[in-house]
Amino acid sequence: MGNKVAIVGIGHSVFGKRNDVSINELAWESISVALNDSGLTQKDIDFYTVGNYGLWSEEILTAVTVGEYAGLKCGSLKTEAACASGSAALKIAMDSVASGNSRIALAMGVEKMYNSPNSTIIELIGRAGNYFWEFENFGLTFPAYYALHATRYLNDFNAREEDLCEASIKSHHYGAMNKYAQFHKEITLSDCMNSKYVAKPLKIFDSSPITDGSAAVILAGEEEARKITDTPIYIESQGSATGSAYLGKRDDFAGLEASRRAAEIAYKGAGINDPTSQFDLFEVHDCFSIAEVMAYEDLGIARRGEGIKLLKEHQTYHDGKFPSNPDGGLKAKGHPIGATGISQAVEITKQLRGEADPGRQVQVRKGRALQHNVGGTGHYAYVTVYSRRN
Amino acid sequence: MGNKVAIVGIGHSVFGKRNDVSINELAWESISVALNDSGLTQKDIDFYTVGNYGLWSEEILTAVTVGEYAGLKCGSLKTEAACASGSAALKIAMDSVASGNSRIALAMGVEKMYNSPNSTIIELIGRAGNYFWEFENFGLTFPAYYALHATRYLNDFNAREEDLCEASIKSHHYGAMNKYAQFHKEITLSDCMNSKYVAKPLKIFDSSPITDGSAAVILAGEEEARKITDTPIYIESQGSATGSAYLGKRDDFAGLEASRRAAEIAYKGAGINDPTSQFDLFEVHDCFSIAEVMAYEDLGIARRGEGIKLLKEHQTYHDGKFPSNPDGGLKAKGHPIGATGISQAVEITKQLRGEADPGRQVQVRKGRALQHNVGGTGHYAYVTVYSRRN
Q: Any idea where the domains of chain B sit in the sequence?
A: 5-116+210-228
Which residues numbered 210-249 in A keep a CB inside 8 Å of some CB on B? 238-246
- Are A181 and A15 a contacting pair, CB within 8 Å? yes
One-letter identity of residue A208: S
**Which listed residue (A172, A335, A372, A379) is catalytic?**
A335
Query: Which residue from A75, A91, A241 is facing B240, i.e. has the nearest CB?
Result: A75
The pLDDT value recorded for residue B227 is 97
- What is d(CA B164, CA A345) in angstroms, rounded to the nearest whole number? 50
One digit per residue, the tens of pLDDT, for chain A of length 390 reads 468 999 999 999 999 999 999 999 999 999 999 999 999 999 999 999 999 998 877 788 999 999 999 999 999 999 999 999 999 999 999 999 999 999 999 999 999 999 887 778 888 888 777 777 777 777 788 899 999 999 999 999 999 999 999 999 999 999 999 999 999 999 999 999 999 999 999 999 999 999 999 999 999 999 999 999 999 999 999 999 999 888 888 888 999 999 999 999 999 999 999 999 999 999 999 999 999 999 999 999 999 999 999 999 999 999 999 999 999 999 999 999 999 999 999 999 999 999 999 999 999 999 999 999 999 999 999 999 999 987
- What is d(CA A230, CA A239) in angstroms, rounded to the nearest whole number? 27
Q: For residue A359, how many other CB atoms are within 10 A of its CB?
A: 13
Task: Please judge whether B242 and A99 are an interchain contact, meaning their C-beta atoms are less than 8 angstroms apart.
Answer: no
Q: With the CA atoms of A282, A287, A288 and A290 taken in that order, what torsion angle do they form, in degrees rounded to the nearest 10?
A: -40
Q: Which residue of A has its CA nearest to B377?
A: A64
ipTM computed for the complex: 0.96
Query: Which residue from B78, B100, B101 is facing A79, i.e. has the nearest CB?
Result: B78
Q: For residue B39, how many other CB atoms are within 10 A of its CB?
A: 13
Task: Please judge whether B375 and A61 are an interchain contact, meaning their C-beta atoms are less than 8 angstroms apart.
Answer: yes
Which residues numbered 14-73 in A keep a CB inside 8 Å of some CB on B? 47, 55, 58-61, 63-65, 67-68, 72-73
- What is d(CA A275, CA A270) in angstroms, rounded to the nearest whole number? 11
Query: Which residue from B3, B74, B238 is facing A241, i.e. has the nearest CB?
Result: B74
Question: Which among A143, A100, A198, A157 is positioned nearest to A310, based on CA atoms?
Answer: A157
Q: Name the fold adopted by B5-116+210-228.
A: Peroxisomal Thiolase; Chain A, domain 1 (3.40.47)
The pLDDT value recorded for residue B56 is 79
With contacts defined as CB-CB under 8 Å, which chain B residues touch A3? 2, 99
Rg (CA), chain B: 19
Task: Please judge whether B382 and A81 are an interchain contact, meaning their C-beta atoms are less than 8 angstroms apart.
Answer: no
- Are B213 and B16 a contacting pair, CB within 8 Å? yes
Tell whether A101 lies on the interface with B, counting CB pairs under 8 A.
Answer: yes
Question: Which among A343, A95, A351 is positioned nearest to A217, based on CA atoms?
Answer: A343
One-letter identity of residue A66: V
Question: In this predicted model, what pLDDT tens digit does every residue of B266-303 receive, in sequence order?
Answer: 999 999 999 999 999 999 999 999 999 999 999 999 99
Task: Kindly list the catalytic residues of B.
Answer: 83, 335
pLDDT class for B134, splitting at 50, 70, 90?
A: confident
Task: Please judge whether A75 and B47 are an interchain contact, meaning their C-beta atoms are less than 8 angstroms apart.
Answer: no
Q: Assess whether A335 carries a catalytic annotation.
A: yes
Question: In this predicted model, what pLDDT tens digit does every residue of B307-363 receive, in sequence order?
Answer: 999 999 999 999 999 999 999 999 999 999 999 999 999 999 999 999 999 999 999
